């Protein structure tokens, strides 16, 4: 996963949930009052039953009260963020209005492929983001993996954009919010739509292949999956943002589950990977092994 995201202290954003904060309050008091009100609104039953103090421990000048820390811990179950960072800041008398959110992205460009679970390694290979020698997969897959790698390499070399020598330029364009994957990934070929249509016809985990590839290339539309260190999530302490982060986290977790199911299905039988490879060829209209035998197409009738 990503390293924790660090944010500068910003000005308190106007909220839409009816919280009233007197103008005479100091800046830290404003922030802490927001947390207290959010606790009351977001976890009313927990608030009513809580027995922890609303005051700082005796002799402690800065930091969060036990009740505020309890609220932060409750939020951890909704979305991933660094409460430790917030606590460290507060101990120094600094209180951030922003939430230091952890992304749930697939951080393949900063992580060795072999560090991922096998079910994700196989997806990275399909996406052209890893080579067979970088993976730790069963030996019975070796011939298919080499065949797939050769196919990916030929495709991207024809476009003069094979990933390894272009990684630096990829990361540079990634930070500028462009669509760098279109420059080198086989997934962004001329028949992307066709691949998605064929996958939708399937009644097995391979139907999730386009979603898995979208997640790898940060193209899902889900902030929790598409964000990165270079393009972090910006969220503030108000109910609207908490609702949004919780929803995005649920979507990301569902996507991760589907990716893992697909990866495990591919690993369950080398024949499954062969079917995925045949579908992959559709991106560039490569003739399939049997005339007219596009995987999934036989189900249209």
Q: Residue 271, by phi and psi: left (phi above 0), alpha (psi -120 to 50) or beta?
A: alpha
* pLDDT tens digits, 189-205: 545 677 888 889 999 99
pLDDT tens series, the chain, 301 aa: 222 222 222 222 233 333 333 333 344 555 678 898 999 999 999 999 999 998 888 888 888 899 999 999 999 999 999 999 999 988 888 888 889 999 898 888 788 888 898 899 989 888 877 777 788 877 777 777 777 777 666 665 554 443 333 333 433 443 333 444 544 455 655 456 778 888 899 999 999 998 998 898 888 899 999 988 778 898 999 999 999 999 999 999 999 999 999 999 998 888 888 888 888 777 655 444 444 444 445 444 4
Query: Which residue in 187, 184, 192 sits closest to 165, CA to CA?
Result: 184
- Rounded distance between C-alpha atoms, residue 287 and residue 282, angstroms: 8
* pLDDT tens digits, 95-136: 888 899 998 988 887 888 888 988 999 898 888 777 777 888
- Rounded distance between C-alpha atoms, residue 33 and residue 92, angstroms: 18
Q: Output Rg (C-alpha) for the chain, integer angstroms.
A: 24
230-246: buried (b, 16+ CB within 10 Å) or exposed (e) per residue?
Answer: ebbbebbbbbebbeebe
Q: Where are the domains of the chain?
A: 1-102, 113-231+238-299
Instruction: Give how far Cα 221 sits from Cα of 179, 199, 251, Å.
Output: 13, 19, 10
- Rounded distance between C-alpha atoms, residue 54 and residue 18, angstroms: 21
> Helices (DSSP H) in 159-238: which residue ranges?
167-175, 181-184, 192-200, 209-216, 223-226
């Amino acid at each position: 996963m990503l390293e924790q995201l660090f944010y500068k202290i910003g000005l308190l954003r106007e909220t839409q949930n009816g919280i009233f904060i007197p103008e005479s309050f100091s800046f830290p008091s404003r922030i802490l009052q927001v947390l207290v009100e959010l606790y009351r609104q977001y976890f009313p039953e927990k608030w009513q039953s809580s027995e922890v103090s609303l005051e700082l421990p005796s002799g402690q000048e800065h930091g969060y009260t036990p009740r505020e820390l309890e609220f932060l811990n409750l939020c951890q179950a909704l979305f991933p963020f660094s409460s430790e960072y917030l606590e460290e800041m507060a101990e120094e008398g600094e209180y951030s209005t922003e939430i230091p959110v952890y992304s749930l992205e697939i951080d393949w460009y900063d992580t060795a492929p072999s560090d991922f679970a096998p079910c994700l390694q196989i997806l990275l290979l399909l996406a052209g983001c890893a080579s067979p020698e970088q993976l730790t997969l069963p030996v019975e897959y070796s011939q298919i993996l080499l065949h797939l790698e050769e196919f990916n390499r030929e495709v991207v070399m024809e476009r003069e954009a094979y990933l390894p020598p272009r990684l630096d330029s990829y990361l540079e364009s990634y930070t500028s919010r462009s669509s760098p994957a279109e420059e080198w990934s086989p997934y962004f070929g001329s028949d992307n739509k066709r691949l998605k249509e064929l996958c939708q016809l399937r009644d097995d985990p391979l139907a999730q292949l386009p979603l898995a590839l979208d997640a790898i290339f940060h193209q899902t539309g889900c902030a929790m999956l598409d964000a990165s260190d270079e393009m972090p999530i910006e969220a503030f302490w108000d109910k609207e943002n908490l609702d949004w982060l919780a929803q995005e986290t649920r979507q990301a977790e569902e996507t991760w589950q589907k990716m893992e199911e697909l990866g495990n299905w591919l690993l369950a039988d080398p024949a499954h990977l062969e079917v995925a490879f045949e579908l992959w060829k559709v991106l560039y209209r490569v003739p399939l092994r049997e005339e007219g035998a596009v995987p999934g197409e036989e189900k249209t009738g």
